[in-house]
Chain A
Amino acid sequence: MSASVGTVETDTTSSSVLSPQSSVLLSIRDVEVAYSTRKGIFRSGEVRALNGVSLDLGRGETVALVGESGSGKTTLGRVSLRLTKATAGRVVYDGQDITETPDSELHWFRKRAQIVFQDPFSSLNPYMRVYDLVEEPLVIDGVAGRDERLARVERALEAVELVPVRRFGEKFPNMMSGGQRQRVGIARALVRDPEYIVADEPVSMIDASSRIEILDLLRGLQDTRGVAFLYITHDIASARHFADRIAVMYQGTIAELGPAGVVIDNPLHPYTKALIAAIPEPDPNNRFHHRAVVPGEPISGGPIPPGCPFFARCPNRMPGVCDVQRPVLTEQEAGHFVACHLYP
């Protein structure tokens, strides 16, 4: 049993099994996020962005949330930052339950947990210089003394390799490339010295040739500063190289979870297998073969099916089992979990 999940009670999905090697920083238990949809005056529906997700994140660990649009990966990131409130379940950060804490009492948490947004073109105020953009969080935090703030801004810019700092500090966002802008976004998160960062598709808007630099930079922050990352991406190949563990999400649930290399080289869930088979790697022989595909597309909205969310598309589905009972995450080998009835 994981000792550091704090006030969370043990539940059916077990707690230790989802834990990383290091001590737990963030613990998410059976989280649901439901939105009501009005379909008429009397009828009301419900859409579940998350449907019972449990995950632990260790100090200095990177977990990649991999999945297609609508899988709930961004919602899970937002729930972990308390930007979205869970409608059920618990979120525990460093031993403190923050699920229901009022915003006015979350200042301590807001300083320690940060987010890097997907789009470095729209997430930076175009009328502010880099210095001011990176200083802003410190002003909001009420860090007194301009010298102190400037010193921290310069340290953050150095950490993201926007050097010489004095030259980049004077620039406006439109004077920089996408990769450089994203470094500013990272510096804004870093200037508060956080121990946890949610990086939501941090490189998907950046040219391929600049992506690795940014991911290397994030990886470096993990190594040198011990920052823990939730790396949200649809690019499972990048997750292999920049995350310690991968959680594959499908329609609001975690389908598979394990060490990054293990999940990719030895996928267990039929959805993970399909996801990996669908990715074309540069190979001149690709064009001579059809790619193995699963039929259909993820369904968004609509009622929540009682069984496995992948049932309708699954090539290995077992009617009478998979459409009746929801599979829970079970450990198949050390640290490798799958939610699938094929693996009892």
Chain B
Amino acid sequence: MPLLDVRDLYLYYSSAGRTVRAVDGISFTIEERGEAIGVVGESGSGKTSLATALMRLLPKSVSRFDGSIRLDGQELRELSDEEFRRQIRWRRIAMVFQGAMNVLNPVLKVGAQVAEPLLLNDRMEKKAARAKVEGLLERVGLPREIYDRYPHELSGGQKQRIVIATALVLDPDLLILDEPTSALDVSVQAQIMNLLKDLKKDPGISMIFITHDIGLASDLSDKIAVAYAGHHAEFGPAERVLIEPRHPYSQLLLASLPRLHETERPRPMPGEPPDLTNPPAGCRFHPRCPYRFEPCDTDVPPPIEIGDGGHARCWLNDEYVAGDRFLIHLKQEAGLVR
């Protein structure tokens, strides 16, 4: 049984008569404990809304919240808000929010902030809570003594470690990380990524890693979802998505990245990002796609299965619809056709 199985998830926001389809039919699974999924996308692709839906932290403007979210086989959508809060949020699914290191309480010792859920929710004794937190601090690479420090005494990397410890204090199975290193310098980012790699192995925490940086996603992720305008353009093992992407958007995104050790210049992505209140008909990417053909501007491509557990929302992957064009983007990239 997969740890997390998300099927046909929808999350729409409405305000002033306009609807934003932030999550528009998304499916993916986390098979095993310690597996990490990277969700890569540009601003407005719906990647943070996916986290919001999984944590059930929904703003009032939500106009549609549908689909199935199964955790260890249990359908979370059937739980009431109160049950979800008591049983799931922070206990089973925890999250590191973007910029969380900047909202630590400045007048509270950092150790006390980490210990708070243990004292308030679990009614743990102070001594036991402190012992547990000190162990956790060591686990995230901090000295025990940091328990009694205040946030302003800590560096950026140390604060981010505190935030990670805070998310882990109730021993969740799944940790959602939303741009956890975006405020950090690259040398410190690498330290945090090394820590996350350790936590995947021991204690075996599964992760959903949300980032705009596909290179950074590859540093942690076993599987990668490429988000575009509320859809997952493609989802699958990191090996396939990074090396043989089945969606032209992923392919062009990878080609647009400046590479450190290649002399070939990055290629600009054609077109403009989509307007999410009025997304294009058919495939959301078709106005920018150099491979578009007859059905793309009218028919929304479904998640077409690839055979490695993943899928791609692109008609080029449907042999019947695409005909001679079947996977032409891969052949062209390989120089087999012009």
Q: Do the two chains bind?
A: yes
Residues of A within 8 A of B (CB): 68-69, 177, 179-180, 207-213, 216, 234-238, 240-242, 261, 264-265, 274-284, 286-287, 290-291, 293-295, 297-298
Instruction: Kindly report which residue of chain A lies nearest to residue B264, judged by CB atoms.
Output: A241
- List the B side residues contacting A261 at CB < 8 Å: 263
- List the A side residues contacting B324 at CB < 8 Å: none
B6 at the interface (CB under 8 A from A): no
Asked whether B186 lies within 8 Å of A275 as measured between CB atoms, the reply is yes
What is the CB-to-nearest-CB distance from A203 to chain B, in angstroms, rounded to a whole number? 10
Residues of B within 8 A of A (CB): 36, 42-43, 155-157, 185-191, 193-194, 197, 212-222, 237-239, 242-243, 252-254, 256-261, 263, 265-269, 272-273
Asked whether A280 lies within 8 Å of B218 as measured between CB atoms, the reply is yes
Asked whether A209 lies within 8 Å of B252 as measured between CB atoms, the reply is yes
Instruction: Apart from A235-B258, A236-B260, A280-B218, list 12 A-B contacts with CB within 8 A.
Output: A68-B185, A68-B187, A209-B252, A212-B256, A212-B267, A280-B216, A281-B215, A281-B260, A281-B261, A282-B218, A283-B215, A293-B191
What is the CB-to-nearest-CB distance from A133 to chain B, in angstroms, rounded to a whole number? 20
Asked whether B266 lies within 8 Å of A69 as measured between CB atoms, the reply is no
Asked whether A290 lies within 8 Å of B194 as measured between CB atoms, the reply is yes
Complex Cα distance, B267 from A216, in Å, reads 9
Asked whether B269 lies within 8 Å of A209 as measured between CB atoms, the reply is yes
Asked whether A240 lies within 8 Å of B219 as measured between CB atoms, the reply is no
What is the CB-to-nearest-CB distance from A310 to chain B, in angstroms, rounded to a whole number? 11
- List the A side residues contacting B212 at CB < 8 Å: 207-208
Which listed residue, A179, A291, A293, touches B219 by the CB 8 Å rule? Answer: A291
What is the CB-to-nearest-CB distance from B209 to chain A, in angstroms, rounded to a whole number? 10
Asked whether B221 lies within 8 Å of A287 as measured between CB atoms, the reply is yes
Beyond A279-B186, A283-B218, A284-B243, whether A208 also contacts B253 by CB under 8 A is yes
Complex Cα distance, B157 from A80, in Å, reads 31
What is the CB-to-nearest-CB distance from A289 to chain B, in angstroms, rounded to a whole number? 8
Complex Cα distance, B252 from A238, in Å, reads 17
Which listed residue, A69, A207, A264, A293, touches B190 by the CB 8 Å rule? Answer: A293
Complex Cα distance, B42 from A164, in Å, reads 27
- List the B side residues contacting A284 at CB < 8 Å: 218, 237-239, 242-243
In the A-B complex, the 6 residue pairs with the smallest Cβ-Cβ separation, listed nearest first, are A209-B269, A68-B185, A278-B190, A280-B219, A284-B238, A207-B42
Main secondary structure of the interface of A (DSSP, over half): helix
Asked whether A237 lies within 8 Å of B257 as measured between CB atoms, the reply is yes
- List the B side residues contacting A294 at CB < 8 Å: 187
Beyond A264-B261, A291-B194, whether A212 also contacts B238 by CB under 8 A is no
Complex Cα distance, B217 from A90, in Å, reads 44
A–B Cβ pairs within 8 angstroms, 19 of them: A208-B42, A209-B253, A211-B256, A212-B258, A216-B268, A237-B257, A237-B258, A265-B261, A275-B186, A278-B186, A279-B186, A281-B261, A286-B219, A287-B219, A290-B194, A290-B197, A294-B187, A297-B156, A297-B157
Which listed residue, B43, B194, B252, touches A207 by the CB 8 Å rule? Answer: B43
- List the A side residues contacting B221 at CB < 8 Å: 287
Asked whether B187 lies within 8 Å of A293 as measured between CB atoms, the reply is yes
Beyond A216-B268, A265-B261, A282-B215, whether A287 also contacts B220 by CB under 8 A is yes
Complex Cα distance, B187 from A294, in Å, reads 7
Asked whether A282 lies within 8 Å of B197 as measured between CB atoms, the reply is no
Asked whether A281 lies within 8 Å of B259 as measured between CB atoms, the reply is yes
Complex Cα distance, B146 from A266, in Å, reads 39
- List the B side residues contacting A282 at CB < 8 Å: 214-215, 217-218, 242, 254, 257
Complex Cα distance, B194 from A290, in Å, reads 6
- List the A side residues contacting B218 at CB < 8 Å: 280-284, 286-287
What is the CB-to-nearest-CB distance from A29 to chain B, in angstroms, rounded to a whole number? 28
What is the CB-to-nearest-CB distance from B256 to chain A, in angstroms, rounded to a whole number? 5
Beyond A279-B215, A298-B185, whether A287 also contacts B260 by CB under 8 A is no
Instruction: Kindly report which residue of chain B lies nearest to residue A277, judged by CB atoms.
Output: B190
What is the CB-to-nearest-CB distance from B285 to chain A, in angstroms, rounded to a whole number? 11
- List the A side residues contacting B193 at CB < 8 Å: 280, 291
- List the B side residues contacting A68 at CB < 8 Å: 185-187
Beyond A265-B261, A281-B259, whether A212 also contacts B266 by CB under 8 A is yes
Instruction: Kindly report which residue of chain B lies nearest to residue A283, judged by CB atoms.
Output: B218
- List the A side residues contacting B242 at CB < 8 Å: 282-284
What is the CB-to-nearest-CB distance from B2 to chain A, in angstroms, rounded to a whole number? 19
What is the CB-to-nearest-CB distance from A90 to chain B, in angstroms, rounded to a whole number? 30
